[in-house]
Amino acid sequence: MGEGRCCERTRAATIVNIGAEAVFTIVNLTLPHLREGLDFDSAAAACRAIYEVVGVSAVAISDHDKILAFAGAGADHHEVGRQVLTDLTIETLSTGNVRAVHGAGQIGCPVDGCPLRAAIVAPLRAHTHIAGCLKFYNTDDVPFSQQEIEFADGLARMLSIELELAEIDIQKKLATQAELQALQAQISPHFLFNTLNTIASYCRRDGVHAEELLVEFAELFRRNLKRHRGLVSLKEELDFVDSYLRFEQHRFGDRLRIERDHERVALTARVPPLVLQPIVENAVTHGVTSRVGPSTVLIQSYVDGNDVVLAVQDDGPGLNASARASGREKRGGQSGHGIGMQNVQRRLQGLFGPEYGLTVKTPPEGGTRVEIRVPRRMPMSAMREETAANPAAAKPDGAKPRAAATRPAKPAPPRPRVAKPTIVKSARSRARKSG
């Protein structure tokens, strides 16, 4: 009996001595993992860290019905993925109370020869529900001390805070994703309305041409629906803008000229779909409609350090004095530019962070210049967003898509011949070619 009390005092003294340092060490080791939520991987990392720091015979973490991680004595039958075995764990999951027992019968493991003789089981909470349990085991039949019980309970509370932060992160990401999808859905009807207006202008004076434009628009909108999720390369976005500009060319004729100046290395940057089209639409609307003669819209893309800058510049009247005085020339300026630009700003900052987005400027030569800054390489948060929106992007290389049922191929109808917009290379492009 005296020997048992000696063991208890020695073990309690060890926990007290390492208590504060152990908690900080464990929190630092487990925080990066548990912030992703409670699963097999995060539980295994946390369980191993606790086992190596605390020095008990075994440590386990379970969720509400199965063992997520186990380290130490008894791992041969307390297997990861199996349903929780001990009556003690089931009781803690049910009541939410911290329990400490000693003796094989009190632990309640149904496997004969289980070496575990003393246990502390503390609940892991996430807001209002019990997410799982943290368990300490020892192989000597000596009860855990009050200090050890309080240590285990305090550690479980710290881990619970990490799990609550993980749930907040998950809910925030889901809300952000839903908002981004809602904003993108707002842009599509805006584009639809303006394009149909262009087609309608031809219906009375040139019915055949209006029919050709409708066929072209149907193809354009079909492509838009296919690319409605995830991120696309800048090259794909520019191709879509070219399709849009063909309709504007029909609307304005020779009054609209397009200059392009793109660095090849910038074209691989990833951007949300329909991020550039509203900017180009505003440049056409505010540039061409406000001038009597021809108007030029310049579309550029280039690398700037770790970022890629997309620029759309028109030679219209530019921002007025009141807009400049009210600070709308700064990043995110959107007054007078419609809901499309507001949505682009929110989508970019929601995906990439507040340091990215729109900047509206008035160049010295006049007109309006809108610059879009995006990261050259996608940050991890945006990669997770793209994977969530487009699961096919997460498939390993070499994965073959499931074969679809084959049907007899129908001959494709002839594509209407639609005039392309006038394209003028900028001086910067001509200088590169001549060099």
3-state per-residue secondary structure call for the chain: CHHHHHHHHHHHHHHHHHHHHHHHHHHHHHHHHHCCCCCHHHHHHHHHHHHHHHCCCEEEEECCCEEEEEEECCCCCCCCCCECCCHHHHHHHHHCCCEEEECHHHHCCCCCCCCCCEEEEEEEEECCEEEEEEEEEECCCCCCCHHHHHHHHHHHHHHHHHHHHHHHHHHHHHHHHHHHHHHHHHHHHHHHHHHHHHHHHHHCCCHHHHHHHHHHHHHHHHHHHHCCCCCEEHHHHHHHHHHHHHHHHHHHHHHEEEEEEECHHHHHCEECCCCCHHHHHHHHHHHHCCCCCCEEEEEEEEEECCEEEEEEEECCCCCCHHHHHCCCCCECCCCCCHHHHHHHHHHHHHHHCCCCEEEEECCCCCCEEEEEEEECCCCHHHHHHHHHHCHHHHCCCCCCCCCCCCCCCCCCCCCCCCCCCEEEECHHHHHHHHC
Distance CA 125, CA 163 (A): 8
Taking CA atoms, 380 is separated from 6, 327, 347, 351, in Å, by 52, 32, 16, 10
Contacts of 429 (CB under 8 A, 6+ apart): 260, 261
Q: Are 287 and 277 in contact (CB under 8 A)?
A: no
Q: Range with the lowest mean pLDDT among 180-184, 195-199, 372-376, 424-428?
A: 424-428
User: What φ, ψ does residue 204 adopt, rounded to 5°?
Assistant: -85, -35
Q: Is the pLDDT of residue 128 over 80?
A: no
Query: CA angle, corner 240, sides to 239 and 244, nearest 5?
Result: 120
pLDDT band at 19 (very low <50, low <70, confident <90, very high): low
Residue ranges, CATH 3.30.565.10, the chain: 227-391+420-427
Q: Are 230 and 386 in contact (CB under 8 A)?
A: yes
pLDDT tens-digit series, residues 303-342: 999 999 999 999 888 765 334 433 344 434 333 345 567 7
Q: Range with the lowest mean pLDDT among 243-252, 306-315, 350-359, 360-369?
A: 243-252
Percent of the chain past pLDDT 70, that is, above it, reads 69
| Residue 271, number of CB atoms within 10 A of its CB | 24
Q: Is the pLDDT of residue 238 over 80?
A: yes
pLDDT band at 49 (very low <50, low <70, confident <90, very high): confident
Q: Are 298 and 330 in contact (CB under 8 A)?
A: no
> How much is the pLDDT for 219?
78
Tokens coding 169: 């992160």
Distance CA 79, CA 317 (A): 72
Which residues on neighbouring strands pair with residue 259, listed in sequence order? Answer: 298, 424
Residue ranges, CATH 3.30.450.40, the chain: 2-169
Most confident of 153-167, 245-259, 261-275, 278-292: 261-275
Distance CA 69, CA 31 (A): 16
Q: Is the pLDDT of residue 146 over 60?
A: yes
* Superfamily (CATH H level) for 2-169: GAF domain (3.30.450.40)
Q: Identity (one letter) of the amino acid at 8? A: E
> How much is the pLDDT for 335?
38
Assessment of whether the complete model's pTM goes beyond 0.75: no
> How much is the pLDDT for 60?
94
pLDDT band at 366 (very low <50, low <70, confident <90, very high): confident
**Closest alpha carbon to 298 in 429, 431, 435, 433:** 429
User: What φ, ψ does residue 190 adopt, rounded to 5°?
Assistant: -60, -45
pLDDT tens-digit series, residues 277-289: 888 988 888 777 7
pLDDT band at 139 (very low <50, low <70, confident <90, very high): very high
> How much is the pLDDT for 224?
63
pLDDT band at 38 (very low <50, low <70, confident <90, very high): confident
**Closest alpha carbon to 253 in 420, 40, 383:** 420
Domain covering 227-391+420-427, topology: Heat Shock Protein 90 (3.30.565)
> How much is the pLDDT for 326?
37
Match 């309006």 to its residue by tokens: 368
Distance of alpha carbon 315 from the chain centroid: 37
> How much is the pLDDT for 168?
72
pLDDT tens-digit series, residues 379-410: 655 555 554 445 444 443 444 433 333 334 44
> How much is the pLDDT for 293?
82
> How much is the pLDDT for 184?
55
Residue 175 exposed, middle or buried by CB count within 10 Å (0-12, 13-18, 19+)? exposed
The pLDDT of 201-214, averaged and rounded, is 83
Which residues on neighbouring strands pair with residue 371, listed in sequence order? Answer: 311, 359
Distance CA 44, CA 42 (A): 5
Average pLDDT, the chain: 75
Distance CA 208, CA 112 (A): 86
Q: Is the pLDDT of residue 36 over 50?
A: yes
Distance of alpha carbon 59 from the chain centroid: 34
The pLDDT of 98-126, averaged and rounded, is 90
